[in-house]
Amino acid sequence: MCSGARNCGKSTLALQIGHNRSARGLQGVIFTRDDRAGEGKLSSRLGLVTEAVEAAPGMDLYAYLVDQMSRGGKVDYVIVDEAQFLAPEQIDQLGRVVDDLDLDVFAFGITTDFRTKLFPGSQRLIELADRIETLQVEAMCWCGARATHNARTVGGEMVVEGEQVVVGDVNRPAEEIGYEVLCRRHHRRRMTSASAHAGSLSPDVLPVTPA
């Protein structure tokens, strides 16, 4: 499992892994859920897009792969993007893919939601994954610090209530439902770039009391 905050390059890495393996003649299946580019797409904010299989709720991922292979399809590896949106039982199915079909599964996703609570799919991945890696490309908070938390915004203001899954993006207009990555301090203070009137990257300063 590869995890990180939004905007840290998870989908880009997923696309790169797929490209590197296809360049060596390997064939894989890409699963995704609720990608920003639409159903059945894996996209990166760099503008790269490829076709994928939409892992719909209730879909048996293990059975899908077994069916593909029984029909003569070649499957050498599996990539899963937006893995946090999968149901825990679908994560169990991916574990079975690794153990019973002897296929490598590369899962990419964020671990916590806008309330800092674990997604059920991410929790199950943490419990089952052979290896968990945090991406080294750091997303940045508006203050310039490392961003570790995902904030949901409406009209530029951070919200902490609502459905766990609402599809949005970090590049949406401020008046729409969107997401912003923040450091822990500014997530705790509910200070988005809009609410803090951050025109440039500048850290908070300590208050100064005249002598």
- What is the tens place of the pLDDT at every residue in 201-210? 444 444 445 5
Q: How many CB atoms lie within 10 A of CB 52?
A: 24
Give the model's pLDDT for residue 147: 86
Residue 7 has pLDDT above 70, yes or no: no
**Residue 67: which pLDDT band, with cuts at 50, 70 and 90?**
very high
Distance CA 91, CA 112 (A): 16
Q: pTM for the full model?
A: 0.70
How far does CA 7 lie from the centroid of its chain? 9
Distance CA 10, CA 136 (A): 10
Give the model's pLDDT for residue 200: 42
Give the model's pLDDT for residue 171: 55
- What is the tens place of the pLDDT at every residue in 98-118? 999 999 999 998 888 888 889
Active site residue 176: no
Place of tokens 């671990």: 111
Element housing 95 (H / E): helix 88-101
**In the structure encoding, which two tokens stand for residue 168, read together?**
């949005």
Element housing 207 (H / E): none
**Catalytically annotated residue among 39, 51, 54, 82:** 82
Distance CA 182, CA 150 (A): 6
- What is the tens place of the pLDDT at every residue in 120-167? 999 999 999 999 887 756 788 999 898 888 898 988 888 988 777 665
Distance CA 86, CA 119 (A): 9
DSSP for 110-136?
Answer: -SB-TTSPBPHHHHHHHHH-S--EE-S
- What is the tens place of the pLDDT at every residue in 9-43? 788 888 999 999 999 999 999 999 988 777 888 88
Give the model's pLDDT for residue 91: 97
Residue 90 has pLDDT above 80, yes or no: yes
